[in-house]
Every structure is written in structure tokens, then in C-alpha cells.
């Protein structure tokens, strides 16, 4: 991979996407001027503290300390870079639309310039680029260029995804800025989709909505498997070998969470609705996902009867393995439902505990999996961290008061679980 000096860039927002993008472009040879409004985060980054847990990120940031510059002052990026990548959050509003206030704060903070371009990495509704260009014109900043360059990295493998992407999508107006972004990505061996801004914005929303649809689809198949006696793991294996379907995102479970799928699906649904189109399929995708998280309660009641006073252990709290991200995690819904049903909930997560403690103060947190399952009537595997796949199941059974193990991610071998004297219940399989 080329590490020759390349065009310096700015990155605004140093969260999961911004910091990975910054470290990734530093790896490709750029000096990167990273800006965030969070002073504590910037102070920490200057001292080498990485605010998120993401495999390989700390090493990459350390490797390129000389190229990575951290500041709360936008002027530092504007002085050194003409391309300013925007990676601020776009969380959902109560209406389900994306909250673009952080994006607009960045737009409003830009000076009039013929030399700079905003490169949008944040996930924004289709039409945002047009609105931003209009705002630039109204603010007398028509010289400012705009590029849509949506990000597809996955938390848990974000560094790898940045350096080995399936594709890079660049939507632009055919001016210097789009070419400059394409040049930045040129060391990567990947397909580059050059297109217009609206289509680039839509590629991102449609991709996430499609993946979420695939998950809700296999979850509904799993629910039918439970009624018919088929095994969804076998069904998915048979389906996934079809080249037109593919094996990915066909793992049945207790629903998707995270900072992207729920909000992006909802944002696309609202975007369609605001334009007068009722996106019926996405309504079902969202509803199936919400119901799927709650089906665990029914499974527990099947084995334990009332949950009042019952001890239930949750293994894994992060929204997926290899991240500390708790945003929209299934564990949040599950723990709230269990507590409301009168259960006493203990929990363990290898990495996400600090954030989980903040979000779920009523839970009893343990230092390890065996600590969490001690005296439990039932255990629910919520997040399929590797360490749970390697659990000593006999030790789990000995530590528990009851025997029920709900495998919310179909991550364990049912026969091994039963062999250890536990009662196994997966999702869509016996
Ligand atoms: N997390 C993912 O896996 C992922 C993947 C693809 C796309 N995205 C999209 O990327 C965007 C960022 O997501 P994230 O998970 O990195 O968010 P994040 O919350 O981890 O990080 C956002 C950062 O922006 C900073 N910020 C907010 N307003 C700012 C401002 N005005 N100026 C400078 N900094 C500001 C915040 O302090 C924070 O550090 C979102 O639109 C998200 O949908 C996220």
C-alpha cells in the first residue's frame, strides 16, 4: 500500500467513522487534521487515548501519530486541507427523520471559499447535498464544493473495511472535488462508483435498508421454522448457497440494533413518506425487528412460567461482537422488558460494560460470564462474542440454579449445550 505523502485532508467528527477514516487516510499517506467539538475527546486523542474500542484502530492511530493532528478549531483543518470529510452523528429524531443539526452546524461554520469542499461521510437523507449547496448559495459561499462519499464500514471490522472496502461511492457535480476524493482512494484496490450526489446518498440508505430487510426476512423464516419444526440454520445454509441470495445476513437471531440500521431504515421510511410515498416493506422490517427482540420473553416464560423473581443472566450487551457500541442494542430492550416483568437481571459483556452500566443502572454486572450466570434460572446469549462460543458449558450448568439457555444468536452447538445438562432453545431451531 502506498505511504508516499498524499493530499492532506480534514475530518470533522472523530467518532467511529471519523477516527477510522482519519487513521485510514493517514495509512494511505495523508496528513489528517481531525476536528471535534468534544474537547475531552480531542485532549484524550492528543495523549494517545482512543475513545472507542475497535480492533486495530489504536495501533493504526499510534503508527501515524505524526500524521494525525487533533484540534477543536476548524481553522486548523481549513488552513491545511481543501477536502473536509464530515463524519458527525446523524441520530434519529422523534419523528424517525435523521437529525441533521450537527451537519448543519458544520455547514454554517464554513467560511466563503473557492478552495474547499465538504465531503459527506455521515449518512444523510437523499436531498441533503442539494439542501447544503442551497445553504451555501444563500450564505454567499457558492464557491464551496460538495461531494457525497457515504461510508460503509462495519463496527468491529471498521479498519479492515476502510482499507479493503467492497466499493467506494463518490457522488459529485463533476468538479475538482470529486476527482480529488477519487484520487485519495486510488491506492485501494476496489470498485469506485462515480455518480451524482443524490444517487450516492440513496446507495447508502438503500444498502442498509436491504441488509436490514434480509435480517428481518430470515427472522420471520425462523419464526415459521419454530412452528413447523424446520431448522433455520439448515434453511439459511441451503438458501445461502444460491448465488443470487448469498450466505451473509441470513443468521436468524433476536433482532438487529446498532447506530445505523434502525435509524437508517427509519430515515429512509420517513424520507419516502415525506415525499408522499408509503414504503410498506420497511414498515414490516421495523416491526418484525421490534417483535423479534421481545420473543425472548415468551421463550423464557415457556420454560420458567412467570418471570417475577426469576434470575435471568444476559451474556453480551453490545449491539454486536467486537464493539463497545451500545446504541440501539437489543440488550437494552430485553433488559427493560425483563425488569418490567419482575425478573432480576445479571449481565456480562467483555468490552461494553462501562456504557452498559450508564444505560442500564438496574442490572447486576459481573466480571465474567460465569459470574453472570451464577444462581441464574436462565441464561440468554444476546451478543455472540467469541468467548461465549468457547464457554465451559458444564461450569455454566454447575453455576446456574436452573438449566435454561436461550441462544439468541444461534451461536452455540445445541447438542453440546444439551450434553452439558442444559435445556437449549435457539431461534428457529430446536
Ligand atoms: N458507526 C458506524 O458503524 C457507521 C457506519 C457508516 C456510517 N455511519 C454514519 O457516520 C456518521 C457518524 O457516525 P459515528 O458512529 O461515527 O458517530 P459518533 O457519534 O461516534 O461520532 C460523531 C462525532 O462527531 C462529533 N461532532 C458532533 N458535532 C460536531 C461538530 N459540529 N463539529 C465537529 N464534531 C462534531 C461528536 O462529538 C462525535 O465525536 C453518522 O451519520 C452515521 O450514520 C456510521
* 357 has pLDDT over 90: yes
pLDDT tens across 123-148, in order? 999 999 999 999 999 999 999 999 99
C-alpha cell at 115: 478552495
Q: Catalytic residue at 149?
A: no
pLDDT tens across 29-48, in order? 999 999 999 999 999 999 99
CA 25 to chain CA centroid, Å, is 21
| Ligand 1: centre distance to CA 183 (Å) | 24
Nearest C-alpha neighbor of 224 from the set 249, 257, 252, 250: 252
Q: Which of 10, 13, 50 to mutate to test the pocket of ligand 1 (most atoms within 8 A of CB)?
A: 13
Average pLDDT for residues 55-75, to the nearest whole number? 98
Answer whether 133's CB lies under 8 Å from 146's CB. Answer: yes
pLDDT tens across 236-294, in order? 999 999 999 999 999 999 999 999 999 999 999 999 999 999 999 999 999 999 999 99
Given the residues 34, 126, 149, 260, the one annotated as active site: 260
Q: Which of 14, 15, 324 to mutate to test the pocket of ligand 1 (most atoms within 8 A of CB)?
A: 15
Q: What is the pLDDT of residue 94?
A: 87
Answer whether 61's CB lies under 8 Å from 68's CB. Answer: yes
Share of the chain above pLDDT 70, in %: 99
Answer whether 107's CB lies under 8 Å from 135's CB. Answer: yes
Please indicate whether residue 322, judged by its CB atom, sits closer than 6 Å to ligand 1: no
Distance CA 164, CA 308 (A): 49
pLDDT tens across 156-205, in order? 999 999 999 999 999 999 999 999 999 999 999 999 999 999 999 999 99
pLDDT tens across 363-399, in order? 999 999 999 999 999 999 999 999 999 999 999 999 9
- From the CA of 264, give the closest atom in ligand 1: 43
Phi-psi region of 309 (alpha: psi -120 to 50; beta: other; left: phi over 0): left
Rg (CA), the chain: 23
List the strands of the sheet with 404-407, edge to edge: 364-365, 344-348, 311-315, 378-381, 404-407, 423-425
Please indicate whether residue 153, judged by its CB atom, sits closer than 6 Å to ligand 1: yes
What percent helix, strand, coil does the chain show, rounded to 5?
A: 45, 15, 40
SS3 string of 237-264? Answer: HHHHCCCCCCCCCCCCCCCCCCCCHHHH
Residue 415: partners with Cβ closer than 8 Å, 6 or more residues away:
none
DSSP helix/strand/coil, 101: helix
Please name the residue that has the C-alpha cell 484496490: 189
Q: What is the pLDDT of residue 123?
A: 97
Nearest C-alpha neighbor of 359 from the set 402, 399, 403, 324: 324
Cβ–Cβ contacts within 10 Å for residue 71, how many?
16
Please indicate whether residue 98, judged by its CB atom, sits closer than 6 Å to ligand 1: no
- From the CA of 124, give the closest atom in ligand 1: 41
Answer whether 122's CB lies under 8 Å from 13's CB. Answer: yes
List the strands of the sheet with 68-71, edge to edge: 68-71, 30-35, 6-12, 83-86, 117-120, 145-148, 167-171, 191-195
| Ligand 1: centre distance to CA 11 (Å) | 11
Residue 52: partners with Cβ closer than 8 Å, 6 or more residues away:
15, 16, 19, 324, 325
Q: 229-251 in b/e burial notation, b at 16+ Cβ within 10 A?
A: ebbbbebbeebbeeeeeeeebbb
Residue nearest to atom 13 of ligand 1 (CA): 89
Distance CA 42, CA 28 (A): 22
pLDDT tens across 96-109, in order? 889 999 999 999 99
Please indicate whether residue 105, judged by its CB atom, sits closer than 6 Å to ligand 1: yes
* 4 has pLDDT over 90: no
Average pLDDT for residues 349-374, to the nearest whole number? 96
Give the pTM.
0.95
* 25 has pLDDT over 50: yes
Burial of 374: CB neighbours in 10 Å, binned 0-12, 13-18, 19+: middle
Answer whether 110's CB lies under 8 Å from 118's CB. Answer: yes
Q: What is the pLDDT of residue 2?
A: 46
Q: What is the pLDDT of residue 97?
A: 87
Please indicate whether residue 90, judged by its CB atom, sits closer than 6 Å to ligand 1: yes
Q: What residues form DSSP beta bridges with 344?
A: 311
pLDDT tens across 203-214, in order? 999 999 999 999
Please give the mean pLDDT across all residues of the chain: 96
Q: What is the pLDDT of residue 202?
A: 98
Please indicate whether residue 76, judged by its CB atom, sits closer than 6 Å to ligand 1: no
Please indicate whether residue 38, judged by its CB atom, sits closer than 6 Å to ligand 1: yes
Length of the chain measured in residues: 430
* 3 has pLDDT over 60: no
Q: What residues form DSSP beta bridges with 303?
A: none
Average pLDDT for residues 83-100, to the nearest whole number? 93
Burial of 337: CB neighbours in 10 Å, binned 0-12, 13-18, 19+: middle
Answer whether 113's CB lies under 8 Å from 104's CB. Answer: no
Residue 299: partners with Cβ closer than 8 Å, 6 or more residues away:
406, 425
Q: How far, in Å, are 28, 222, 227, 419 from residue 427 at the CA level?
A: 43, 6, 11, 19
Distance CA 314, CA 348 (A): 7
Amino acid at each position: 500500500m502506498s505511504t508516499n505523502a498524499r493530499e492532506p485532508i480534514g475530518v470533522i467528527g472523530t467518532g467511529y467513522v471519523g477516527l477510522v477514516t482519519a487513521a485510514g487516510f493517514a495509512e494511505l499517506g495523508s496528513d489528517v487534521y481531525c476536528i471535534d467539538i468534544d474537547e475531552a475527546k480531542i485532549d484524550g486523542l492528543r495523549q494517545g487515548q482512543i475513545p472507542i474500542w475497535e480492533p486495530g484502530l489504536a495501533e493504526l492511530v499510534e503508527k501515524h501519530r505524526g500524521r494525525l493532528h487533533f484540534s477543536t478549531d476548524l481553522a486548523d483543518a481549513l488552513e491545511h486541507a481543501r477536502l473536509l470529510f464530515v463524519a458527525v452523528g446523524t441520530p434519529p429524531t422523534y419523528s424517525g427523520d435523521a437529525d441533521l443539526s450537527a451537519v448543519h452546524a458544520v455547514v454554517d461554520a464554513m467560511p466563503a471559499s473557492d478552495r474547499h469542499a465538504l465531503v459527506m461521510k455521515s449518512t444523510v437523507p437523499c436531498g441533503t447535498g442539494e439542501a447544503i449547496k442551497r445553504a451555501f448559495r444563500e450564505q454567499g459561499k457558492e464557491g464551496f464544493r460538495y461531494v457525497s462519499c457515504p461510508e460503509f464500514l462495519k463496527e468491529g471490522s471498521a479498519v479492515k473495511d476502510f482499507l479493503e472496502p467492497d466499493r467506494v461511492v463518490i457522488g459529485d457535480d463533476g468538479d475538482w472535488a470529486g476527482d480529488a476524493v477519487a484520487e485519495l482512494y486510488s491506492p485501494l484496490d476496489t470498485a469506485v462508483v462515480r455518480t451524482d450526489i443524490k444517487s450516492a446518498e440513496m446507495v447508502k440508505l438503500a444498502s442498509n435498508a436491504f441488509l436490514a430487510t434480509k435480517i428481518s426476512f430470515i427472522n420471520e423464516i425462523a419464526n415459521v421454522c419454530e412452528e413447523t419444526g424446520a431448522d433455520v440454520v439448515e434453511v439459511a445454509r441451503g438458501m445461502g448457497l444460491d448465488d443470487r441470495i448469498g450466505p451473509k445476513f441470513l443468521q436468524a437471531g433476536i433482532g438487529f440494533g446498532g447506530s445505523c440500521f434502525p435509524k437508517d431504515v427509519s430515515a429512509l421510511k420517513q424520507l419516502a413518506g415525506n415525499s408522499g410515498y408509503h414504503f410498506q416493506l420497511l414498515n414490516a422490517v421495523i416491526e418484525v425487528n421490534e417483535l423479534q427482540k421481545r420473543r425472548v420473553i415468551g421463550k423464557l416464560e415457556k420454560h420458567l412460567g412467570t418471570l417475577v423473581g426469576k434470575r435471568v443472566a444476559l451474556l453480551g450487551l453490545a449491539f454486536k461482537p467486537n464493539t463497545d457500541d451500545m446504541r440501539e442494542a437489543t440488550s437494552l430492550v430485553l433488559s427493560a422488558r425483563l425488569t418490567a416483568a419482575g425478573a432480576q437481571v445479571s449481565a456480562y459483556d467483555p468490552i461494553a460494560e462501562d456504557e452498559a452500566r450508564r444505560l442500564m443502572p438496574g442490572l447486576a454486572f459481573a466480571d465474567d460470564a460465569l459470574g453472570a450466570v451464577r444462581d441464574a434460572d436462565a441464561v440468554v446469549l444476546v451478543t455472540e462474542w467469541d468467548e461465549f462460543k468457547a464457554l465451559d458449558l458444564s461450569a455454566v450448568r454447575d453455576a446456574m440454579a436452573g438449566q435454561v439457555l436461550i441462544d439468541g444468536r444461534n451461536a452455540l452447538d445445541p447438542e453440546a449445550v444439551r450434553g452439558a445438562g442444559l435445556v437449549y432453545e435457539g431461534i428457529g431451531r430446536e
